[in-house]
Homo-oligomer: A and B are copies of this chain.
């Protein structure tokens, strides 16, 4: 069970007391039940927020929906109606500074396009809120650093929404790798490709997305090679391809890359926006192997091992899991395993992958 930190306990008690005479007995009871729940404001009400994050938030133990940030009044109305949010819980990107006055909001979950993450994270931090931010953290190392600095200066936590780090299937693979159950890992393969769909969306615009398939889904494969090896790559080499230069005029369509890690582990990876079908990771170790296929779904991932055993766990809501973990980290005053620095590392490596593909040479990261 979660333990409240002294500071959080005092804060929640103070809030309950401040509510004073206007709070009814039944709502006080509700409030008490929710005393361990942190208020999340969802910033950016696109498909991911609507279809995944908001429903997941309803399943969490330690979070509650406390606000929204949107530039579209129709979306605000729809969300208010659906989730019973009062008007003071609704913000636009220009009014986020007013969150400083809203004690109901503890965390802002930034779900805007990649290149707006810094803007929204910094605004939230300045309003005194913790920030949980979708991946990729931002589109450049510099902007990631600005986000990290802003949260540090505000004394607030910054988390990167790497949901796979909360998937029992991935956690089991990490255990198999770390405990050398099949000996030392030597070659890791990971790939994640999707059919990105609609031509008009922000994901296909460089200004908002910063990049294409690599930044959006290849990042899962890259992440996996890092947490499975437990190391940071020292060399990366990449080859890009574009078969539909009209649809993918501004961003990468497909990319394959290889990396070497300090211990000698190597990885080979792929990503694409052109079509799905690649959705897997495999760790080859000295005495065997294990894999997940599919590996990166929201749910329903499964795997197998060279000894014939399955890697299969009951499906959990990964968005709920990562939000609950972030809330618990805040409540318990301990660091998250997916801090902003973790998001920055991937952005740095992705920039090296782009550079390698562009320059036709390996790029050192040592």
| A107–chain B nearest beta-carbon distance, Å | 38
| A43–chain B nearest beta-carbon distance, Å | 34
Closest to A267 in B: B256
| A8–chain B nearest beta-carbon distance, Å | 47
Q: A256-B267, A258-B268 are in contact. List 16 more A-B contacts (CB 8 A).
A: A183-B275, A186-B275, A189-B191, A189-B270, A237-B237, A237-B239, A241-B260, A241-B264, A254-B264, A255-B266, A256-B266, A266-B270, A268-B268, A275-B287, A275-B288, A277-B289
Top-6 shortest CB links A-B: A277-B289, A243-B264, A360-B362, A361-B361, A256-B268, A277-B284
Query: Cβ of B243 and Cβ of A239 under 8 Å apart?
Result: no
Complex contacts, A268 vs chain B, CB 8 Å: 189, 191, 256-258, 268-270
- What would 26 A/B residue contacts be, using CB atoms closer than 8 Å? A182-B277, A184-B243, A186-B274, A186-B275, A187-B193, A187-B270, A189-B268, A189-B270, A191-B268, A193-B284, A235-B239, A235-B360, A237-B239, A241-B264, A241-B266, A242-B264, A254-B266, A256-B258, A266-B270, A268-B269, A268-B270, A274-B286, A275-B284, A275-B285, A276-B289, A277-B306
Binary per-residue interface labels of chain A (167-196) against chain B in the complex, 1 for a CB within 8 Å, 0 otherwise: 000000000000000111011010101000
User: Does chain B have a CB within 8 A of A282?
Assistant: yes
User: Does chain B have a CB within 8 A of A329?
Assistant: no
| A162–chain B nearest beta-carbon distance, Å | 23
Closest to A186 in B: B274
| A347–chain B nearest beta-carbon distance, Å | 21
User: Does chain B have a CB within 8 A of A259?
Assistant: yes
Complex contacts, A278 vs chain B, CB 8 Å: 187, 189, 282, 284, 289
| A197–chain B nearest beta-carbon distance, Å | 13
User: Does chain B have a CB within 8 A of A272?
Assistant: yes
Complex contacts, A243 vs chain B, CB 8 Å: 184, 186, 263-264
Binary per-residue interface labels of chain A (300-317) against chain B in the complex, 1 for a CB within 8 Å, 0 otherwise: 000000100000000000
User: Does chain B have a CB within 8 A of A65?
Assistant: no
A-side interface residues, number (CB < 8 Å): 50
| A310–chain B nearest beta-carbon distance, Å | 16
A15 to B272, CA, bound (A): 61
| A286–chain B nearest beta-carbon distance, Å | 5
A189 to B191, CA, bound (A): 9
| A207–chain B nearest beta-carbon distance, Å | 25
| A300–chain B nearest beta-carbon distance, Å | 15
A182 to B360, CA, bound (A): 31
Binary per-residue interface labels of chain A (337-363) against chain B in the complex, 1 for a CB within 8 Å, 0 otherwise: 000000000000000000010001110
A266 to B289, CA, bound (A): 25
User: Does chain B have a CB within 8 A of A127?
Assistant: no
User: Does chain B have a CB within 8 A of A265?
Assistant: yes
